[in-house]
Amino acid sequence: MNQSILFSDDLTVELEKKCVRFSAQQMGSLINCSVSFSWLEEESGESICHHDKANEVFNQLRFDIEEKAEALIEDEEFNASGEIEIN
């Protein structure tokens, strides 16, 4: 794991956008990241229909999510808003 990318423990579940938002820091820069409910559902095999379930599944898959986000950051796969999206 690249120690220059640090992930915080902040999580925001956005039910209307069907994603969980979290952040990372790389060399002092804040990087907003999100993972879609569909990705979480596919990886976990569980349905996400409410806030608590999204938190639970995110935390179960945290290592995999951070690993995926780290790879996207290193490959500079930012969207038009400068964010990382795992879909």
The structural domain count of the chain equals 1
How do residues 3-21 score in pLDDT, each as one tens digit? 689 999 999 999 999 999 9
**Residue 68 lies in domain:** 5-84
How do residues 28-77 score in pLDDT, each as one tens digit? 899 999 999 999 999 999 999 999 999 999 999 999 999 999 999 999 99
Closest CA to 2 of 63, 62, 71: 71
Model pTM score: 0.92
Is 35 buried (19+), middle (13-18) or exposed (0-12) by CB count in 10 A?
Answer: buried
Residue 3's pLDDT is what?
Answer: 61
Residue 21's domain is classified under what CATH number? 3.30.160.140
Residue 62's pLDDT is what?
Answer: 97
Residue 1's pLDDT is what?
Answer: 47
The length of the chain is: 87
